[in-house]
């Protein structure tokens, strides 16, 4: 149960990844529509709690399978892509000054997220970009 394959830890990791994607997707739509939903208290809190659990389980999983960023390439890529996802997300939800800039950052963040999933599933640093290799 703690070897990283089909473990509770991995199930929580995958579940929080799905919740992270869903909440980011919806918040992007709300920001672009200028929806009052963005002012809701839970909308400001729940994504952070979820993403903290996602990162916590990520760290626990690296330890449980004995593979680490800056040692194993696929995890280095995953970590760096996560940083890109966070930066693009901040741009999309907070910093962008124009609608087109916001939409571009939001779309780019969604693509980066799917890339992270493809790296996770293949354990290949190139993920779905494998054809570039
Ligand atoms: C948005 C961020 C992330 C997403 C969407 C994500 C997604 C996933 C998914 C879908 C799996 C399951 C793969 C499978 O079924 O075999 C997984 C497993 C895993 N992830 Fe993540 N992950 C994220 C961030 C991270 C980070 C930052 C790390 C560590 C640097 C990490 C480390 C791991 C490890 C060690 C496993 C277990 C692999 C195994 O069981 O062999 N994840 N991740």
Could you identify the atom of ligand 1 that is nearest to the CA of residue 20?
1
CB-count burial class (<10 Å; 0-12, 13-18, 19+) for 118: middle
Q: Is 88 in the pocket of ligand 1 (CB under 6 A)?
A: no
Element (H, E) at 14: helix 8-33
pTM score above 0.85: yes
Can you tell me the distance from the alpha carbon of 54 to that of 9, in angstroms, rounded to the nearest whole number?
10
**Residue to mutate (ligand 1; options 51, 61, 68, 127; most atoms within 8 A of CB):** 61
Can you tell me the distance from the alpha carbon of 125 to that of 117, in angstroms, rounded to the nearest whole number?
11
Dist. CA 71 → ligand 1 center (Å): 15
What are the pLDDT tens digits along the chain (133 aa)? 455 456 999 999 999 999 999 999 999 999 999 999 999 999 999 999 999 999 999 999 999 999 999 999 999 999 999 999 999 999 999 999 999 999 999 999 999 999 999 999 999 999 999 888 7
Could you identify the atom of ligand 1 that is nearest to the CA of residue 121?
13
Which residue bears the tokens 């999309």? 92
């Amino acid at each position: 149960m703690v070897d990283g394959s089909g473990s509770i830890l991995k199930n929580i990791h995958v579940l929080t990844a799905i919740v992270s994607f869903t909440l980011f997707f919806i918040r992007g739509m709300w920001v672009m529509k200028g929806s009052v939903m963005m002012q809701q208290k839970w909308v400001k809190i729940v994504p952070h709690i979820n993403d903290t659990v996602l990162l916590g389980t990520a760290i626990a999983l690296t330890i449980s399978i004995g593979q680490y960023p800056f040692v194993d390439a696929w995890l280095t890529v995953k970590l760096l892509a996560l940083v890109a996802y966070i930066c693009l997300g901040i741009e999309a939800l907070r910093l962008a000054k124009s609608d087109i800039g916001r939409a571009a950052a939001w779309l780019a963040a969604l693509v980066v997220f799917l890339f992270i999933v493809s790296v996770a599933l293949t354990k290949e640093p190139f993920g779905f970009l494998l054809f570039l290799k």
